[in-house]
Structure 1
């Protein structure tokens, strides 16, 4: 009696004694299993799995992932709408940290163990954790697209938390320190320091301001653009990092007069005039300003403070007013609540210290009140010769 004809795929025994499984793919091509099987049952099970994938619509072309990572990753960056600074960062990470290891490897052969080894080797070789985290995040994003393109079945980047950038906590300047730095810096940059410290604006947002962005009558500034400096020295005028970055920020009345004076003395004329310009009329460059900043810090006796740290001062002051998470997000220009919650947490910690100090004062006050009451209740001792009636 003839054996029952197989409904899906074919299995044949090889001279080696192992079994080969093949099936006709939806593209009309004969697809062999990537390996041979020790028993016919194993080959049958593999074919059954493939048949289930086809029925679920979960089948993918096993040859699709036979594309080298290097060219695929380069095209991935080219095809995306990125700012010049982000594109430059991605190409640098790709060239220096990903291509040397994965460039010639086909996508389908990049495995979770290979990714773990790459990351461990990078950290062991002295590459900074922040750089490794950014490179890992880029690798995960590229391979995530490969999954979406049905070139690979799963993303091999499975290390929990590996793309998280852990930045050390930066110092926060006090109000007195902000004013000390504003006094020590060149007069044309005094208001730039004050606006960074009390409005929490970024460097690129500040030097990108034009007169039309300042509304002195309503005491507000509109953030609509930022100046980005590329590694090659070129500058790019771009929109803020996210849609939330386009915002209107109220100016504290305490510095409004100084801003008015700055516009009269230092800013370019006309509605399109730049608010902050150098002595020769150019938009300030970060490297030149940093020299002035370091000198101002030295003159003010302040160590280890970066200009960007002034943004933390503005955000911390805003959080200490009791502003809601959404209000802080709007003022800071963030599209997620993460940063706002950090500042609120810092403000809550400070509030706890204040409450503890108040508690100590209350305890001292209660002790003093108790002593006075005890002395008042105490009867005076009688003198010799006193009589009672």
Structure 2
């Protein structure tokens, strides 16, 4: 049977999955690579920063001290140490644990999927930034929702454009959105940060139009110049914000550990639908590692390494890019967003760019509909400085040729 032929079960797939099955799936971007090209597409941490010895020591300690208990359902006390560490970390950010609670999940995307299971019905509306994290678009589509996008500028989501869309929806008699999903700190893919004023306005709109805010803080700890404004979850007493975090960018993506903090009744609801539970052994050794202080001790070195790479990429862009090319200057995170002349199609240019020696992610991958045709995302964290130099030079040559 060829790939294109249907299987007997295909017609039983859900409507959202049938609609998405021929589209670019989450993960297909990983194939945008060639053997000889520098990959500026991977939003991966630098593997040289993985604390292999520290994690190995924590694994050994957990097995030595908790033995069979660590490998059994429920695990032991070190699993609880992870939760205690996260609660204290979120409390330091300003979250009130008299009214909120925390749920450990198998990564940030699992946390968001769990929120979707708790809240979304087919036909509901989700607000997203345009562009936004490509992987989350697939998650939302799985629930058969309408995705409404709001553009981003150098200060993050243009919240007044959201206000205009909400007014128009109300005038038409449309139901309010269920959530607005935002990556306010060092945004994926643009690297921008939502200003404090816009955070306040977004929370005002959530109250006025009766919707929730799903705050993705995956990059919040990776500030390179100065800390971002306070989390949205700490700026309101209305209990409309669910905040998501992740160890993928600060510890290692392979541990697959994330969390969410939410008002207590909402945390209970998400825990109810979080199918399958989490990897309790991983929770245990990550808990041991974090409680030993090693993660906090390593963060300054991680920031220093990424700051140097970011600065190098920005310098190379300044030196090599043709006229009319613009780019963001992120204050943290992993990414730089590049806007090309309108005549250049980033997706069409990808093949020739790979032949020239560089790959990237084309802008349209980050939009729920049309958009981003003359834009692309670069990541500075995974590659070495000399690779950044070679990649930006190849990209500049490709853009000049495409023009």
TM-score bucket (shorter structure): under 0.3
Structure having the larger proportion of residues in strand? 2
For the pair shown, which has the larger CA radius of gyration, 1 or 2?
1
Q: Which has the higher contact order (CA 8 A, sep 6+)?
A: 2
TM-score normalised by L of structure 2: 0.21
Structure having the larger proportion of residues in helix? 1
TM-score normalised by L of structure 1: 0.21
